[in-house]
Amino acid sequence: MVQKTDDPRTLAERTREFIHAEVLAVDDEFDGDVDAAGGDTLREKLQAKARAAGIFAPHAPVDCGGLGLGMVDRAPVFEEAGYSLFGPMALNIAAPDEGNVHLLDQVATAEQRERFLQPLARGEVRSAFAMTEPAPGAGADPTALSTRAEKVAGGWVVNGRKWFITGADGAAFFITMARTSGEPGQPGGATMFLMPAKTEGLTVVRHVGTSDRSMLGGHCEVTYENAFVPDDGVLGEVDEGFRYAQVRLGPARMTHVMRWTGAARRAHEVAVRHVAARKAFGARLSDLGMVQQMIADNEIDLAATRALLREACQELDEGGHGRKSTSIAKTFAAEALHRVVDRAAQMCGGLGVSTELPIARIAREIRPFRIYDGPSEVHRWSIARRAVRELGGNA
């Protein structure tokens, strides 16, 4: 039996070996399409192998079977897992489950931990986080939340519509954000509810077609029609949902950065190997100045991403909210890693946009990161407002 280790470097190396030995070939065979590769059957198979390798659930609390790594320590492990589009799923660190594990660990009652957190951390079930709504509901502006929960005897009745809910198809339960007071556009008044998928009135209507294909359970439209939640299904305190969302979203943005850094690094490494071997115009492509600039710019973007990530993770580990540092790191990383993959495609020419190499599918998967968990424009607005408040008065 493999012994667990507290050394993140050893764990990262073990993860690297596992991804290369067990995961990359499946990723390549099915072009990163998780449904074509077997969906939950593949997940269960890979997770069993990850358990045997001693790398399963590095983020989850030890009392739930995880390795209990903090944000700084998990970064290199998550990056190695992200080297394959299926790697996070194999280690049970894919979105949205990874973020939901963190949220439940911070907020759930003892009974909720046993019922929801433990099976999720052990990989026995999947979950979904249901906040995003069609316009004019909650999106980049969460205060537009329009799904309602009305108090009734013994619990709450939820009515509303969500969409782009990642992992909804096949999820065992949903963490649902609903308005319990106030009106859309007003701060506060949101509550989180733990709702089993079998809840009467909760329906996964359809998959919303998107460019990415590596997310198990898709991105779905979900409706709530008089869906009843008992009082013990309230996660945390009533009307405190927006505060709890920040507990989840800051760390979740950083773990996205970790995983996508791994994917972008793979694209970069594939491209560098290609230009080092390919000859044109009487020289290796890697000897040409314009290609060298792309290689150097990729190295700079990867290094800067890791530096900003580490700063934000350090703040989170020390108990800070990290609102500014996580916004900066997320915004920079989403754009920098997209640049890395785009340059990698350019270096490889036609191969870079083909299925012969993994670069095109990585580009397909990484592009939405500039939108979800806060579009770059919203993060810039938040960063600027905070700077003006700190340096120039009210904003």
Instruction: Give exposure, 232-244, as e/b (b: 16+ Cβ within 10 Å).
Output: ebbbbebebbbeb
Q: Do 327 and 363 form a contact (C-beta atoms < 8 A)?
A: no
Q: How confident is the model at residue 200 (pLDDT cuts 50, 70, 90)?
A: very high
CA distances, 37 to each of 26, 28, 32, 44, 384 (Å): 7, 10, 8, 12, 43
- Picking from 326, 330, 301, the residue whose alpha carbon sits closest to that of residue 311 is 326
Cβ-proximal residues to 329 (8 Å cutoff; 6+ apart), any chain? 253, 254, 257, 305, 308, 309, 311, 312
Lowest mean pLDDT among 1-10, 78-87, 238-247, 291-300: 1-10
How do the residues of the chain divide into helix, strand and coil, expressed in percent and rounded to 5?
55, 15, 30
**CATH topology match: 8-94 vs 127-239:** no
Instruction: Give exposure, 334-357, as e/b (b: 16+ Cβ within 10 Å).
Output: bebbbebbbbbbebbeebbeeeeb
Q: How confident is the model at residue 392 (pLDDT cuts 50, 70, 90)?
A: confident
| pLDDT (average), residues 182-194 | 95
Q: Is residue 1 over pLDDT 50?
A: no
| pLDDT tens per residue, range 344-357 | 999 999 999 999 99
Flag whether the pTM goes above 0.75. yes
Domain formed by 127-239, architecture:
Beta Barrel (2.40)
Distance CA 379, CA 386 (A): 11
CA 281 to chain centre: 42
Rg of the chain (C-alpha set) = 21
Q: Is residue 300 over pLDDT 90?
A: yes
Q: Is residue 319 over pLDDT 70?
A: yes
Q: Is residue 22 over pLDDT 60?
A: yes
CATH number corresponding to 8-94: 1.10.540.10
What does pLDDT average to over the chain? 97
Distance CA 22, CA 93 (A): 16
The answer as to CATH 3.40.50.1370 being correct for domain 242-392 is no
What is the helix (H) or strand (E) element at residue 343, kind and residue range?
helix 323-347
Distance CA 62, CA 59 (A): 9
DSSP type of residue 245 = H
Enumerate the domain spans of the chain.
8-94, 127-239, 242-392
